[in-house]
């Protein structure tokens, strides 16, 4: 259980930070960075809400 929670937290952090970075890059350049960032942030939201880990208690 602890390893699953740790893995979900690490993946969520990577998706959130990476999605934010891609959106910022996409706002300044042309290409698929904005769409990739939006997809990463969407995946982050799905992961946080569907993983079964209680993020309120973790924070």
- The per-residue b/e assignment along 18-41, b for 16 or more CB within 10 angstroms, e otherwise, is bbeebbeebeeeeeebbebbeebb
Q: What is the helix (H) or strand (E) element at residue 19, kind and residue range?
A: helix 2-28
Give the predicted TM-score (pTM) of the model. Answer: 0.84
> How high is the pLDDT of residue 5?
83
pLDDT tens profile 5-57? 888 889 999 999 999 999 999 999 988 999 999 999 999 999 988 888 777 77
Which phi and psi (to 5°) does residue 29 adopt?
Answer: -130, 170
């Amino acid at each position: 259980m602890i390893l699953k929670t740790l893995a979900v937290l690490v993946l969520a952090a990577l998706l959130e930070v990476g999605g934010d970075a891609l959106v910022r890059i996409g706002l300044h350049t042309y290409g698929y960075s904005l769409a990739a960032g939006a997809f990463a942030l969407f995946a982050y939201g799905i992961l946080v809400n569907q993983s079964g880990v209680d993020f309120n208690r973790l924070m």
